[in-house]
Structure 1
Amino acid sequence: MRNILDKTPKTLQKEIHAKVRAILEAPDSDTARMLLNQVLDEYRTKAAKAMDILEFGFEDAVAVLELPERYRKRLRTTNSLERLNEEIRRRERVIRIFPNRESAIRLIGALLMEQDEKWASSKKYLDIAEYFEWQKEASKNSGEKVIPIR
């Protein structure tokens, strides 16, 4: 969204923001694609660079729409990643200066292992068992193999 708005003329930013938000919050990928085509047709001449960015990143941005709705809500944002980065920064501020690169890598590795243990043992952020059931159902319905999560 930021990349698109950076290349959008100031007078159109609110308008395009609302339209792009509608694309990202679409109930399914077909609706998102229809909205994308409408936005591209309407703004291609007025904000060409922004529309190029939107068109280029569309598939990546709406990939989450292929998942069950329960997972979309958590995976469509980068909140969990930003929270993890914030925790790394918080711990790094205490140390301030690392003696070498390996010590910084050890700190980050330890934090990631700690976070993995929390995700594995505490309240589940995403219930993978439910995902596997959805995956089996999707592969039965489509007749093709769904790529597993590892």
Structure 2
Amino acid sequence: MRARIGSELRSVWNAGSLAKAQAALDELVTGYSKTAPKLATWLENAIPEGLAVFALPDHHRRRLRTSNPIERAVQQELKRCTVKVRVFPNDEALLCLVSAVLVEIDETWACDNKAYIKWECRDA
């Protein structure tokens, strides 16, 4: 069922416009309202936030769809730092370490001249 839902959600994300994405989402919610009502409720409540990407210009949307290298770099750095410690005394200690690592990554990216998304619009 997960694979089927994943492919159906991809049709929402791959829609050409916000109206088409909303129509695909509405169809998905209607389709699951009787067989999986919790899933339908979740789709109806959670997915519209992700549709905000359709407000961006097309070339920004394409760039955001390929953010896996950034996510992978962040996840690898978090794993590298947390594996060294292995056992944390409490949740706050883990949160403190992860927050510090993320702040450091953010500062590095803020000072970097290579912006992942150039906010100036251009014809793509």
| TM-score between the two structures when normalised by the length of structure 1 | 0.60
Work out whether 1:105 is the aligned partner of 2:114.
no
Post-superposition shift, 1:63?
A: 1.1
Query: Retained in 2: the 8 A contact 1:40–1:51?
Result: yes
Query: Retained in 2: the 8 A contact 1:71–1:126?
Result: yes
Work out whether 1:68 is the aligned partner of 2:43.
no
In 1: Cα distance, 2:48 partner to 2:9 partner = 13
Work out whether 1:15 is the aligned partner of 2:4.
yes
In 1: Cα distance, 2:31 partner to 2:63 partner = 31
Structure 2: gaps spanning 5 or more residues: none
In 2: Cα distance, 1:111 partner to 1:126 partner = 19
In structure 2, relative to structure 1, the CA distance for the partners of 1:27 and 1:119 (3 Å cut) is farther
Work out whether 1:116 is the aligned partner of 2:107.
yes
In structure 2, relative to structure 1, the CA distance for the partners of 1:90 and 1:65 (3 Å cut) is same
Q: Which amino acid aligns with 2:77?
A: E
- Of the three residues 34, 40, 43, the one matched with 1:51 is 40
In 1: Cα distance, 2:41 partner to 2:49 partner = 14
Structure 1: gaps spanning 5 or more residues: 1-9, 135-150
In structure 2, relative to structure 1, the CA distance for the partners of 1:42 and 1:112 (3 Å cut) is same
* CA shift digits 1:49-89 (9 cap, x unpaired): 21111111121121111111222234357633453133022
Which structure has the larger Rg? 1
Query: Retained in 1: the 8 A contact 2:78–2:101?
Result: no
* Matched positions, count: 120
Post-superposition shift, 1:32?
A: 0.5
Tell me how large the CA RMSD over aligned residues is. Answer: 3.3
| TM-score between the two structures when normalised by the length of structure 2 | 0.69
In 1: Cα distance, 2:35 partner to 2:101 partner = 49
Query: Retained in 2: the 8 A contact 1:88–1:108?
Result: no
Q: Which amino acid aligns with 1:121?
A: D
In structure 2, relative to structure 1, the CA distance for the partners of 1:124 and 1:45 (3 Å cut) is same
